[in-house]
Amino acid sequence: MKIVAITQARMGSTRLPGKIMREVLSKPLLEYQIERVRRSKYIHQLVIATTIKETEQPIIDLCKKLNVDYYRGSEKDVLSRYFQAAVQYKADIVVRLTSDCPLTDPDIIDAVITEFLSNDNQYDYVSNTIERTYPRGLDVEVFSMKALGLANREAKHPVYREHVTPFIYLHPVQFHLGFVKNTIDLSSHRLTVDTEEDLDLISCVITGLYNKNIESFALSDIIELLQENPEWLLINSQIEQKKLDDEG
C-alpha cells in the first residue's frame, strides 16, 4: 500500500503570517520539516497541500527547488483540499502533518505508522495527539484513504471542513481509533510555530543543535538541549494553543 505524507501549508496565518517561510540559519522552516519527513523509513511520497492563492508562490517555489510534490486547492475547505491531494497522488494510507512543525521527528512518524500497520487493518486512524504525551509540534496522524473519503463525503459542519481529522476522531463509534504514547509525558513542551515567541524558541533549538553538529536530531536531543537551557522554556510559556490550530 502506498503511504503518502501530506503537509498542509499556506502563507496566511492569523497570528504569524508567512511563518513557515521564516528562516533560521538561512533556511525556511518548511524546508527543515521536509528534510526531516524524508528521513521516514515508511513514507513513499511527500506532498505539500497548499491553496490556489497567488500568495502561496513562495511555497510552490520551495517545492520545485527541493523536488517535492504539491497540490493546490481550496483555502477554506481544507478537508476537500486534503482529500483531493490524496486522490491525485493515489494514497492508500495518509500521514497528516502540518507545516508549523519544523522539528517533526521521523522516528515518531514511523512509530505511528507502525502502530497503524501492525494491527491487521484494525484501525481507521492512529495518532499521538488525542492522548497527548509528546510535545506539541511533533504531532502525527495516520489514517486510511477510506476513512478520509468518508469524512470528506459526510462532514458538513464548517469546523470539520476547515480541519481535516476532527470528523474522524470525534466519531469513535464510526471509526476505530488507535493511540501512540510516549514513555514519558512531555506534553508540556511547545515546539510548534504559531507566534513570534514560538519562532524564537525554535530558532534557539535549531541553532543550538546545529552548533553541536547534531543535524539529524531526535526528540531526545531536543529535550537534552532544553534541559541544558531551561530558561528557553520561558520564551513561549505564556502562549495558549488554539482549540483547533491555525495550521492549514
Complete domains list, the chain, with CATH: 3-234 (3.90.550.10)
Burial 5-15 (b: 16+ CB within 10 A, else e): bbbbbbbebee
* pTM, entire model: 0.94
Q: Give me the pLDDT at residue 245, please.
A: 47
Q: Give me the pLDDT at residue 207, please.
A: 97
Q: Give me the pLDDT at residue 14, please.
A: 76
C-alpha cell of 247?
A: 495550521
For the beta carbon of residue 55, count every other beta carbon within 10 angstroms: 14
Identify whether the C-beta of residue 178 lies closer than 8 Å to the C-beta of residue 231. no
pLDDT mean for each 10 residues of the chain (248 residues): 96 88 97 97 98 97 98 96 98 97 97 92 94 96 98 95 95 96 96 96 97 92 97 89 53
C-alpha closest to that of 89 among 9, 4, 151, 148: 4
C-alpha closest to that of 19 among 212, 192, 174, 236: 192
For the beta carbon of residue 26, count every other beta carbon within 10 angstroms: 5
Q: How far apart are CA 173 and CA 208, in angstroms?
A: 45
